[in-house]
Structure 1
């Protein structure tokens, strides 16, 4: 069976960036920037992006491009005979499925809200009714299941068309539209009365905030955000590395993708903070920001139905770009692992993902009495914890060890692959940093994620 490759470099960059650009860029990043010192936080975030995020991204791309396989078979192509690195591939594949178990539900929320705004469902609603709209959605397993299934069917429908004609072609359109929408929304928000005050709060350095949260907390939060923003650690980036040629160095491509991801995250803040400040609404983080705070802002705004529709169209594209990238990864893993056709893999996985997504849907209604992490935690919180706090950092650590160990692929092979092509190259003298410093940073992130959840 002949393996497809991506048609263009732009397709690779937009697909990889689309995988990285997700809901967290909008409902978490702007909030922590505003509350962790503004521009100071952004500087530390960019520093850690260069120190941790981009190097690990080059590792995933290198393994993918050298092996020409997905995470299901990449280790077997590169590992020395008799070693067991390939056992990790099962955990990486599981990570993709677990992420999709809740991401399909949240993507369904975005699509539902786009539909509601587009048909005028929020026109004339007061604050209480806007909040009730979200609560009523969560309380209805039938509504949430319907929109989750729409996401699953549409996403796999795109993937069933093939890599170039489906995934690459449609993601290019979505990502181009996403970038256009976010710029239009940001320009509109900044021009609102009082919008500039929101920009100042968001981006101007605020040393009082740093004293309030503590310098160590600022550093670890910036480190955490830089690491998790790129979706590294479970092979979702590796697959796109396997689809590209060797004309460009992987450091250069990784920088481009990281900058695009960061651009969207920062511009999202230029929508949120000016809008909230213009209407004297306290910006929050998480689902309440997207589904309660911002809809209240849009309903108060002149032309709010249009701006709300555009915002949720942007959010739908952000969610779908990640969903399609993850679907592509698991499909290729299934094709390689079980030697089946793409169409068959699509049909099987539509059923699997639909069924696996139901616990998250029911966690807000039928199974709302279950609190897996204690307190008021939901099944979604538990699934998110498994991916964000265990699978991603542990997986990234495994890929790193594979590339620095003599019993693995080895640093020389990694360096040769990453530096093949035109563009900035990774210097050989950086090996001690990969070998001694990066594992410590990543272990800190792994431990910190577990400790913060349970203590």
Structure 2
């Protein structure tokens, strides 16, 4: 039997998991949420929810994947096998697997935008428009149906080429390069912004605590959504990365490091973007693609040294996006390998072709596509994974899997916390997302 590919060391695994978590939510949504919901008033509940979800959902999905040595389809099947319902479990496991593929396809569209803007910072095209309306028009043309085919295909081909090299030689090595560079570049940006006149007003806003905002239910709802989606628990990517871990790996310690560095990335983004807006007297009241591709490029255009700032920013964003894209595509690729005995390269090519064809077709509707996935499929996948592992697997089995590689057992209330708090939280995120049009 051929040995299953895996991460070569702890650092590679942690950086890969951090890469999967650090994405557009950290960069174009977190700073906006901090700005809209009272700075420190948002950070307080956000940190609370990061600790809760990191200490339950992230640990659980990593351990579930390692226990099954596979992605969600076989993992869910394993959970129901003792009840004679393996086929049902595998069918339910298709939900987060297909969700990962659909999310990867939507993310491919975004990566095409990022690649075009990153290259454009070197050629001058990204900062060429003169005003906000011109930036909006340029982005609108790019984000329309069939408006960015070449760059989108190039981004996906780069991703697939990395994945063809496997886990240790492809995904792990790519993350070992891109993640440290991402943090290094963003730290450099933060230092540069700190030296600009007017930046202090931005810091003052980030760290102030507004009692009214802190008491508002919406602050807590959006802090929950931000933490939940930022840590990438969806019953797919974290499970599949966990499946490549050895039994000697301390999963709770790894999960804590992933949560820490993901939160650090989000805070770095806020420390760059909010003070940068403050230097021009601008109000950060819009997130999403508009912030990344319209308002920030216009801001860079007007800043001293803006061209260099734009280069560093979009290259760093490209690294963050690519590492997330690798994780999203890994789940369907691994499923083809596990369930249909595909070799690695044919599996990557098959999923890559699907990704190219579908992503080109959805360019004009990608916003709605991603909304459906983030509102319904991601929390549903996370909830199903939590239920399978903490309700259908025996407590002794769960605790044994979580404690592998540890010198002493994890705290005794871990299992009931996951069973009776994490599972309802996943349901709550699903309901709140549906009621509010998305909270992630």
Same fold (TM over 0.5): yes
Match of 1:141 among 136, 139, 146: 146
Distance 2:69 2:127 in 1: 51
What 5-or-longer segments of structure 1 have no aligned partner?
364-378
Residue 376 of structure 1 corresponds to which residue in structure 2? none
* Per-residue Cα deviation, 1:348-367 (whole angstroms, up to 9, x for no partner): 11211111112321x2xxxx
Q: Tell me if structure 2 keeps the 8 A contact 1:404–1:410.
A: yes
Q: Offset at 1:123?
A: 5.0
Equivalent residues in 2 for 1:308-387, closer than 5 Å: 308-361=310-363, 363=364, 379-387=365-373
Q: Please state if 1:393 is matched with 2:397.
A: no
Q: Offset at 1:319?
A: 0.7
Distance 2:340 2:300 in 1: 48
Q: Please state if 1:98 is matched with 2:102.
A: yes
Residue 55 of structure 1 corresponds to which residue in structure 2? 56
Moved over 6 A (4+): none
Distance 2:416 2:243 in 1: 27
Q: Offset at 1:53?
A: 4.1
Distance 2:161 2:431 in 1: 39
Q: Offset at 1:424?
A: 7.3
Equivalent residues in 2 for 1:164-243, closer than 5 Å: 164-210=168-214, 215-243=216-244
Match of 1:429 among 389, 413, 420: 413
What 5-or-longer segments of structure 2 have no aligned partner?
none
Q: Tell me if structure 2 keeps the 8 A contact 1:248–1:420.
A: yes
* Per-residue Cα deviation, 1:170-221 (whole angstroms, up to 9, x for no partner): 11101111011110011111211101111111222223544xxx52111211
Using structure 2 for the length normalisation, give the TM-score.
0.93
Which is worse superposed, 7-16 or 227-236? Answer: 227-236
**Alignment length (residue pairs):** 432
Q: Please state if 1:28 is matched with 2:29.
A: yes
* Per-residue Cα deviation, 1:369-403 (whole angstroms, up to 9, x for no partner): xxxxxxxxxx2233222321112211221122112
Distance 2:118 2:246 in 1: 38
Distance 2:374 2:22 in 1: 15
